[in-house]
Amino acid sequence: MKDSFAKKISVKPSIAKSTKFALVVSPYYKEISEKLIAGAMKVMSASNITTDIISVDGALEIPTAISLTRKHFDGFVALGCIIRGETTHYDIVSQNSAQGLMQLSTQGVCIGNGIITVENILQAKERSDPYKKDKGGDAARAAISLMLLKLKYHKN
């Protein structure tokens, strides 16, 4: 079902050739981030969109990396995983990374948020798996949809 959805939003070949996206990834949980990347790349590949991968140390750095590189890409997919621990650090990281992405989005940056926030590693594995919840693919589809909306209504 998810594969057919990816095909529904595939961009036109003429647009795809000139379109460049970045996956901005926090590989803190390597197994999870690799699955998120796989799901996002499957969607980008189906849409023939050139994609770079930018790696940052943690989820809090993702909005900053997007801000620093925003003029070089048509859209971004933020990918990472935040697992609740014993302290309030989970709340700080999840809220501030989401707020940073939202702030950039309201400034016209096309971002799909694939930073998953979970209670445990089992939830992370299910949500990141391209053959299960496919949150990486979902974030890529969201970013592409926003880019198409921007192209339709904003003539620069």
Domains of the chain: 2-151 (3.40.50.960)
In three-state secondary structure terms, 68 is: helix
pLDDT score at 135: 98
Residue 67 has pLDDT above 90, yes or no: yes
CA distance 45 to 41: 6
pLDDT score at 18: 82
Structure tokens at 24: 């901005």
pLDDT score at 1: 46
pLDDT score at 154: 79
pTM of the model: 0.91
**Cα 52 to chain center, whole Å?**
12
Q: What is the pLDDT of residues 13-66, one digit of tens each?
A: 666 668 999 999 999 999 999 999 999 999 999 999 999 999 999 999 999 999
pLDDT score at 156: 54
Annotated active-site positions, please? Answer: 89
pLDDT score at 150: 93
pLDDT band at 11 (very low <50, low <70, confident <90, very high): low
**What does residue 80 show for φ and ψ, rounded to 5 degrees?**
180, 180
Q: What is the pLDDT of residues 116-142, one digit of tens each?
A: 999 999 999 999 999 999 999 999 999
Instruction: Output the CA angle 141-63-144, nearest 5 degrees.
Output: 15
Residue 10 has pLDDT above 80, yes or no: no
